[in-house]
Structures are given as structure tokens and as C-alpha cells.
């Protein structure tokens, strides 16, 4: 039994406004714990979490591990390269064998869209999606929303533009779903080759002009060009991409009011964003990273906390 209306966090598609608000409110309480001289509570003592990262990660992997340790869970990091996956064992057999050792939660990153959903159908453990290919990255969207809510006080009516490689971005889809659920106005901006056809059906506006987007939004979430997931030829060159869709100080200065700048990382400095913008007073990029630990603590507590004898958060 979870303290949310869900057992797993596979994506934000079936999470309601109330669910997301509960996570964001809980994350604010977790942030207070992180600011204490000893940032650790016994809340998840006795809960075992396996971090199954089958794709590269810095922020998500480290912040999940930190979140688990701050909540006193037992954590295990699974190294794919030295596992029996490299001997041909299937993902399902690997996961079933790990679960047979009595674990409670699997945090999973995988290159295949839908892989956390697949495991959720076959395992009893709680599954948390830490990014599945170009599908969803729910905890990234939650930490983005937490950062925006801290800056603007509320998400309802906020004008947010996602810029760049929308087609290959799991961050984009989770942000669109989460922000729309919370009542924000969402625009996507990028070259036509990097925006899926029919995306308007998700309730977003589309523009191919960054200068136009800058005129009518409060915050820009600049996405990395997912070069590892793209076919060749989706845009002529990185130089040309930067010329039309790179966020520069000169572009930002044309905004009617100062904009808040987010980036999920890792950044390609000089491609989608210049260093003077990424490191400027308008950037909340490192605040996003700090919030990532609090959001992941909140998700772990809300999904796995009810496994504990008392459901009250022990602080």
C-alpha cells in the first residue's frame, strides 16, 4: 500500500493534480530535512532499494542514491557491465533473481521505452521509472515543477516553453503531462524535424521561432540535443541549430520581462545554451539538481513508506 493512489511511479500520465501536489508538498518537507546539520531520518529503515541503471546517468543516479541514504533505506547499486546481463541473461530473469533476494523497490533507467511498465507487470516490487528511452522521466518533471513552484508560487496559468529536441526527450513528455495536469500553459519550440507531428493533441502550442517564444513565456526549459538517439540529418549542423535555437544572452535581453531558465542536464554548452545564460542570475539549473534529491525522497517515502509499521514520516 502506497501513501499515493499508485503503487508505482512509471510516468506522470495517470498521476492527478492531487497526487502531484502531494509529492511537491512532501518534497518541500524533505528539503527542510536536507538543510539540517544532520540531514538524515529513519523513515525508510528496513526498506531495500535496488538502483538498476542500464543507461548512463549522473544526476538521477546520484540523487536517488542520496535520497535513499537520507531516508535510511538499504541501497544496492546494480552494475550492468559486471552483471550476468553481459552473459545473455534477460532483463526479466535478472530482475526476478534480484527480487528473490527480498527487495522492496526497483529504481530503473533503461534505453527501451516501456521497460519499467514491463517489470511492473512481472514483479511484486515497487517500480520507479528513472528514465525509459525517449518516453518518460517523471522525477525530472517533478523536480522541474518543484523549482518553478518555488520561483512563481503556483503552476496554474504559468507560461512554460520547452525548447529543443522534443521528439527524443523523455523530459519533454513528462513535463508536458505534469505541467498540463497542474494547469500551466505549455509551448514547445524547436525545428519541425524535432517536434512530433500531432503534439498539439497534448494541449500544447507549437512554435518554430525561439524569439517568438521568448516574447510570451515566463520560463524556458532548454533541452539537450539527444544526439545519441537521433538519426542523422534532422538539422543541418550544430552551428545552424545554435543560430536558430541556441539560448543566448542577446536573445534573452529581448524578453519583455526577465525569464527563468531551466535545463535538465547534461548541458551541451554553446549548442542549446550559452555559458553566460546557463550561469546567469536567471538560471535555476543547480536549484533543480538540489530539488532532485528532495523530490526523490518524497517519491520513495510516499510509495514505500507505507511498508513501515508507522505511516507517519519520522523526522
Nearer to ligand CP, 41 or 108 (CB): 108
Nearer to ligand CP, 57 or 77 (CB): 57
Nearer to ligand CP, 292 or 305 (CB): 292
Nearest-approach distance from CB 137 to ligand CP, in angstroms: 6
- 124 to 143: interface string for ligand CP, x by CB under 6 A: -------x-----x--x---
Nearest-approach distance from CB 58 to ligand CP, in angstroms: 4
Nearest-approach distance from CB 171 to ligand CP, in angstroms: 7
Nearest-approach distance from CB 312 to ligand CP, in angstroms: 31
Q: Does 265 bind ligand CP (CB under 6 A)?
A: yes
Nearer to ligand CP, 246 or 264 (CB): 264
Number of C-alpha atoms within 13 angstroms, CB side, residue 83? Answer: 16
In the block, cell 538502483 appears at: 51
In the block, cell 553566460 appears at: 276
103: left (phi over 0), alpha (psi -120 to 50) or beta: beta
Q: Does 183 bind ligand CP (CB under 6 A)?
A: no
Q: Nearest 10 degrees: CA dihedral of 26, 32, 37, 43?
A: -20
How far is 207 from 140, CA to CA, in rounded Å?
23
Nearer to ligand CP, 223 or 252 (CB): 223
Q: Which helix (H) or strand (E) holds 51?
A: strand 48-53
Residue 167, SS3? coil
The cell for 152 is: 512563481
With a CB cutoff of 8 Å and minimum separation 6, the contacts of 101 are none
- 48 to 87: interface string for ligand CP, x by CB under 6 A: ---------xxxx---------------------------
Binding stretches for ligand CP (CB under 6 A): 57-60, 131, 137, 140, 264-266
Amino acid at each position: 500500500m502506497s501513501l499515493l493512489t499508485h503503487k508505482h511511479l512509471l510516468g506522470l500520465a495517470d498521476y492527478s493534480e492531487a497526487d502531484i501536489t502531494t509529492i511537491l508538498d512532501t518534497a518541500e518537507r524533505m528539503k527542510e530535512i536536507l538543510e539540517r546539520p544532520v540531514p538524515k531520518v529513519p523513515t525508510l529503515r528496513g526498506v531495500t532499494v535496488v538502483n538498476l541503471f542500464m543507461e548512463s546517468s549522473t544526476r538521477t543516479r546520484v540523487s536517488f542514491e542520496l535520497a535513499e541514504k537520507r531516508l535510511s533505506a538499504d541501497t544496492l547499486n546494480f552494475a550492468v557491465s559486471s552483471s550476468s546481463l553481459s552473459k545473455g541473461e534477460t532483463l526479466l530473469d535478472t530482475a526476478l533473481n534480484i527480487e528473490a533476494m527480498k527487495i522492496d523497490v526497483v529504481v530503473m533507467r533503461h534505453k527501451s521505452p516501456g521497460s519499467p511498465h514491463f517489470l511492473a507487470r512481472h514483479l511484486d516490487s515497487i517500480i520507479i521509472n528513472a528514465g525509459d528511452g525517449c518516453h518518460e522521466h517523471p522525477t525530472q518533471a517533478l523536480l522541474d515543477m518543484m523549482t518553478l513552484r518555488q520561483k512563481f508560487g503556483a503552476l496554474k496559468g504559468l507560461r512554460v516553453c520547452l525548447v529543443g529536441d522534443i521528439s527524443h526527450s523523455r523530459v519533454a513528455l513528462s513535463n508536458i503531462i505534469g505541467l498540463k495536469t497542474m494547469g500551466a500553459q505549455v509551448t514547445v519550440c524547436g525545428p519541425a524535424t524535432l517536434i512530433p507531428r500531432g503534439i498539439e493533441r497534448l494541449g500544447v502550442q507549437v512554435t518554430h521561432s525561439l524569439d517568438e517564444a521568448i516574447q510570451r513565456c515566463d520560463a524556458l526549459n532548454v533541452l539537450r540535443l539527444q544526439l545519441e538517439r537521433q538519426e542523422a540529418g534532422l538539422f543541418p549542423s550544430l552551428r545552424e541549430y545554435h543560430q536558430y535555437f541556441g539560448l543566448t544572452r542577446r536573445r534573452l535581453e529581448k524578453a519583455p520581462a526577465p525569464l527563468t531558465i531551466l535545463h535538465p542536464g547534461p548541458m551541451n554548452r554553446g549548442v542549446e545554451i550559452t555559458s553566460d545564460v546557463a550561469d546567469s542570475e536567471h538560471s535555476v539549473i543547480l536549484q533543480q539538481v538540489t530539488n532532485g534529491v528532495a523530490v526523490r525522497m518524497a517519491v520513495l517515502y510516499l510509495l514505500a513508506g507505507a511498508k513501515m509499521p508507522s505511516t507517519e514520516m519520522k523526522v
